[in-house]
Amino acid sequence: MINVTKTYLPPLNEFQGYVEGIWERNQLTNNGPLVKELEEKLKEFLGVKHCLFVSNGTIAIQIALKILNVTKEVITTPFSYCATSHSIVWENCTPVFADISPIDFCIDPKKVEALITPNTQAILATHVYGNPCAVDELAQIAQKHNIKLIYDAAHCFGVQVNGTSIFNYGDISTCSFHSTKVFHTTEGGAIFTDNDDYAYLIDRYRSFGHMGDNYLTIGINGKNSEFHAAMGLCVLPKVSDIIVARKSIFEIYDRLLNWDKLIKPTVTLPTVSNYAYYPVFLKSEEILLQVREALESKNIFPRRYFYPSLSTLKFLVETSNCPISDDYSPRALALPLYYDLAHSDVELICQIINRTI
């Protein structure tokens, strides 16, 4: 069976070594030494000022909205995983969907600016499939209108734009460390910012607002455990090799797929990629379903991702005008991509797709 992704698991004895230390110290959570060590190593690896390890990528977005005092309208993308918009609604804010670019499939800055109203308090943009948004244009819009800029960078571990970590853009960036990601801690996520005050409050917010024996502010249980940090400390040294392996698979898809009948996102900025996903867009949803059926008949399981367009979900928004997202989302298919996927299997996937389309 070939799934769309596969979790990298480090050698068991490496993880057990960390677990033995947890047993000796008998501290399983509450900002233990492994959590602190992981945060420091992530800051060094990524080149960021503040990195706060949290329980998942969704709570990271929720904390970001809360820290920035966002309570009204948030302009966001309809072409993302549901966690992006669900976080907005969960925090009792109103999502306003701006359509995407058919080039990079990220939120279109021109569509963003046209939607700004007196109630707009933030932009929440997703770096789609790990490909960067138009970060300079979005920063100019946010500054011009005095609104906050948050990035859902769930797919972006290790990605650089213009020579710096993609996490260094925006007021706050968030990331997922879910087990399907390039870097993972089984479950987990992180919040990145270069603002000292934000970082201080995020640290309080993720742990019930604690300030010693008292409480500084409201908070939530967004902290993570020593066991998850241990997994991260095992995986982090392997990330560079994992990315190299993924790149080699990327190159096979690039070379063998029939690009007369397929579309893929174009990276428009100077980017160091992490090769997180390999999405293609078919000519129609009907053809996509035929391709999926052909692959699944050989025990190969791609994923419709991102699908559906969030602008079509009536529990999120009553009306929206996102024809590009609504058109491309039903035709989006993420192909299998993971560190030890056999190159012969990638070639077989390409053959099946090319035959079917």
Q: Do domains 2-237 and 239-356 have the same CATH topology?
A: no
Domain 2-237 has CATH 3.40.640.10: yes
Read off the amino acid at residue 113. Answer: E
pLDDT, tens digit, 9 for 90 and up, residues 122-148: 999 999 999 999 999 999 999 999 999
Q: How far apart are the first and last CA of the chain?
A: 22
Tens of pLDDT, residues 311-349: 999 999 988 999 999 999 999 999 999 999 999 999 999
Residue 196 has pLDDT above 90, yes or no: yes
Amino acid 343: pLDDT: 98
Extents of the domains making up the chain: 2-237, 239-356
| pLDDT score, position 212 | 87
- Prediction pTM value: 0.96
Q: Using an 8 Å Cβ cutoff, are 270 and 134 in contact? A: no
Q: What confidence tier does 267 reach under pLDDT thresholds 50, 70, 90?
A: very high
Cα angle 310, 272, 57; round to 5: 40
From residue 207, alpha-carbon distances to 56, 117, 220, 233, 342 in Å are 14, 34, 6, 22, 43
Q: What does the alpha-carbon distance between residue 203 and residue 53 come to, in Å, rounded to a whole number?
A: 9
Residue 213 clears pLDDT 90, i.e. is over it: no
What does the DSSP 8-state code read for residue 46? H
DSSP codes of every residue in 192-245: EES-HHHHHHHHHHTBTTEETTEESS---B----HHHHHHHHHHGGGHHHHHHH
Antiparallel, parallel or unpaired: β 160-161 and 148-152: unpaired
Read off the DSSP letter of residue 91.
T
More confident: 211 or 344:
344
Provide the residue type at 50 as one letter: H
Instruction: Tell me the per-residue pLDDT of 172-186, one tens digit each, with 9 for 90 and over.
Output: 999 999 999 999 999
Residue indicated by tokens 């997922």: 176
Instruction: Give CATH for domain 239-356.
Output: 3.90.1150.10
